[in-house]
Amino acid sequence: MSFRSLARANEYYQITVFCVFIGMLLVAMAMMFVHPTVTLLLFWLGLISLGAFAMSEKFIGTVIRRSARSELERFVCPRCGATVHRDPLEVQDWCCNECGATFKCSGEEKF
């Protein structure tokens, strides 16, 4: 996957996880008096998935940084795809002249 698609997915990741938990809450509230075991199951499932969502967010961040580093090594801006005429790995912070995106040598984007 390209840096741009991964960055776009990462932008909406937190709100998507929040909506999943709100949906689980609404289902649990609706099932509280009908089937209390479903409510308990959703509670434990929510606790377990909280850890899984946190770990997957770290994984997505690592993949994004690696993707940005590989594009910087090819002298290409990860954000807009413009070519660069200097070595971005020789400087501490790299800034694109076309889109203004700033990256560290580790691949992390500075906002």
pLDDT at 99 over 70: yes
Torsion, CA 69, CA 56, CA 54, CA 37, rounded to 10: 170
3-state secondary structure of 13: helix
Element (H, E) at 64: helix 36-73
Total count of domains within the chain:
1
pLDDT tens track for 33-79: 888 898 899 889 989 998 899 899 889 888 888 888 888 888 888 88
The overall pTM is greater than 0.85: no
The residue range of the domain holding 37 is 3-110
Per-residue pLDDT, 86: 64
